[in-house]
Structure 1
């Protein structure tokens, strides 16, 4: 039986697109893979029976994470890849050929593809994998933001990633966290601040987990940003604390890498840029609650006005900072 279920979150600039799909029809399977991944030729070995494809996928802007399962043996051929891609088998094996490399991947080894070359993969019957697609521009811009300078792509990622331990295993757990959100109709992934941070973490985590020609620069010692540049960021935060800043946005304001910004804040301010942003937001929320009419204003409205996407976390941070619940401030001071 074929089944297709799609769900999108509330409307904002980057709405997660979530799809659950299963089919025994090759044409339908090809259509779904084309939609979320690449134009692909789907085939089965001669005499093979039991074709079936299952896809559970979440797409957040330039990042796509899917759980793909194969009932029977399947070959996939992409004429030319236009993105970065990592396949991590969770059950069974896959064989891959790409850019002159041949890799046999399983639960302890993932296969990595880069843009500009054809891809051939063969998947065992009763196998499954996590398939991560990252649009080329997004990963290269993430790297440029971390380094604080332009990069010339494509990034030369290795053909395989070790998932048995270390950074590769840690990165795979982060990807699984995003995949697990497929099971929840009410998820923090629908909040733009959380979604953006999670997406950036997946991209940055991959860059930190595998060797490439920028890796030493990315992980080596970093100097602190100068006080004047840090002041520009502080001023921007105070001017618009409700704006959905990411750490990359703040680094761009400073004109430096994310790592230099973080070190500059640690040295000159004594906390991270995002912790400072939250502190300013809490102060603005506190001031608003003190002046608000409790008959006309709600805690949720104040929280959302000052950039807090999750009401429970806002209330917890507020109580830690001011020693009382935000609702108490509203009732007492209104």
Structure 2
């Protein structure tokens, strides 16, 4: 790392910062999280290493504090989860003071104040989820409107179970930051990862909708599933999300997924990819090699990464896209 010099990654919406001073760290927090004050007891000697990725309504950052520092925010405007990864963090939260280690996550809801005291050489993952996005995710999963804010617990154990699994997903996002060829920089994958983080949190911690969310799901009826299938076939190049398809079908995301499994035999996004691959194959078989390229066809049908398109194409059809194009009479 180059000390003190921020670096902007090439992928849209993704930012990576090297080691910065306390003033710069506060600026980063203000920009990507919420307005805070940062009191560094070691003054100018305090360094904060910041690694951060922003995927639409989701921000995941890893902060390492060389010296002691205190973060204070009068009121949150989003859902926020702090997952310590090293050392101790003291929190003044919900009328009580608690000390947390990497075994426990802290949760702050919209309207909550934040007061976090970081000991020297402590580190944490900071997850910010826009209020509207998390509440819309829950409503889509349930298939009906909800009353927010969601009553997430003020803390939860990361030792085992779904919460431990969710924390591993957050760590994966952080670990992938340094790899510029990572799938997280592909818009389609990033969107799915974002949705997985949101739905994973809702499934991992208790709240008033949790029991309903984990009840066995009923598959959507064939006629409704057909509406989603027709939408995909009409516009396979469109960047559909599972939530959008659920709205089209008029059901919850879970009912859509179960309906696709039962009536189509594939998950919605798998079916979308299959349709795209078939349309791409048709275009390559009809195309003139002197006038079109594999890349042009791949991009036309919604594949942003040529290498992964070629791999999926070969797996599906047993030959490369370029071989199909060259075989054109």
What TM-score bracket applies, with the shorter chain setting the length? over 0.9
Partner of residue 127, structure 1: 122
Q: CA deviation at 1:49?
A: 8.8
How many Å separate the matches in 2 of 1:48 and 1:125?
13
Question: What residue ranges of structure 1 are gaps of 5+ in the alignment?
Answer: none
How many Å separate the matches in 1 of 2:96 and 2:283?
60
Distance 1:232-1:101 versus aligned 2 partners, 3 A rule? farther
Q: CA deviation at 1:171?
A: 1.0
How many Å separate the matches in 1 of 2:265 and 2:28?
49
Contact 2:20 2:50 in 1 (8 A): no
How many Å separate the matches in 1 of 2:106 and 2:297?
46
Counterpart of 1:275 (choices 264, 270, 286) is 270
Q: CA deviation at 1:98?
A: 2.1
Distance 1:75-1:229 versus aligned 2 partners, 3 A rule? same
Partner of residue 30, structure 1: 26
Q: Is 1:191 the equivalent of 2:186? A: yes
Partner of residue 256, structure 1: 251
Query: Counterparts of 1:189-228 in structure 2 under 5 Å?
Result: 189-228=184-223
Distance 1:220-1:196 versus aligned 2 partners, 3 A rule? same
Q: Is 1:67 the equivalent of 2:62? A: yes
SS in 2 for 1:308: coil
Q: CA deviation at 1:152?
A: 0.9
Moved more, 319-328 or 72-81: 319-328
Q: Is 1:52 the equivalent of 2:44? A: no
Deviations 1:48-93 (A, max 9, x none): 8942222111112211111101111111111001111111111101
Deviations 1:185-232 (A, max 9, x none): 333333211111111111111111111111111111111112211111
Deviations 1:80-130 (A, max 9, x none): 011111111111010112233443221111111111121111111011111
Q: Is 1:300 the equivalent of 2:295? A: yes
Contact 2:104 2:157 in 1 (8 A): yes
Superposition TM-score, scaled by structure 1 size: 0.93
How many Å separate the matches in 2 of 1:271 and 1:103?
46
How many Å separate the matches in 1 of 2:43 and 2:9?
36
Deviations 1:158-195 (A, max 9, x none): 11122222211211111122112321233333321111
Contact 1:48 1:73 in 2 (8 A): no
Q: Is 1:4 the equivalent of 2:1? A: no
Partner of residue 16, structure 2: 19
Distance 1:274-1:28 versus aligned 2 partners, 3 A rule? closer
Moved more, 47-56 or 161-170: 47-56
Partner of residue 318, structure 1: 313
SS in 2 for 1:110: strand
Moved more, 114-123 or 160-169: 160-169
How many Å separate the matches in 2 of 1:313 and 1:48?
48
How many Å separate the matches in 2 of 1:261 and 1:167?
23
Name the Cα RMSD after superposition.
Answer: 1.9
SS in 2 for 1:155: coil
Moved more, 250-259 or 49-58: 49-58
Structure 1 stretches of 4+ moved >6 Å:
none
Contact 1:101 1:159 in 2 (8 A): no
How many Å separate the matches in 1 of 2:250 and 2:97?
41
SS in 2 for 1:183: coil
Counterpart of 1:83 (choices 78, 102, 113) is 78
Question: What residue ranges of structure 2 are gaps of 5+ in the alignment?
Answer: none
Moved more, 278-287 or 181-190: 181-190
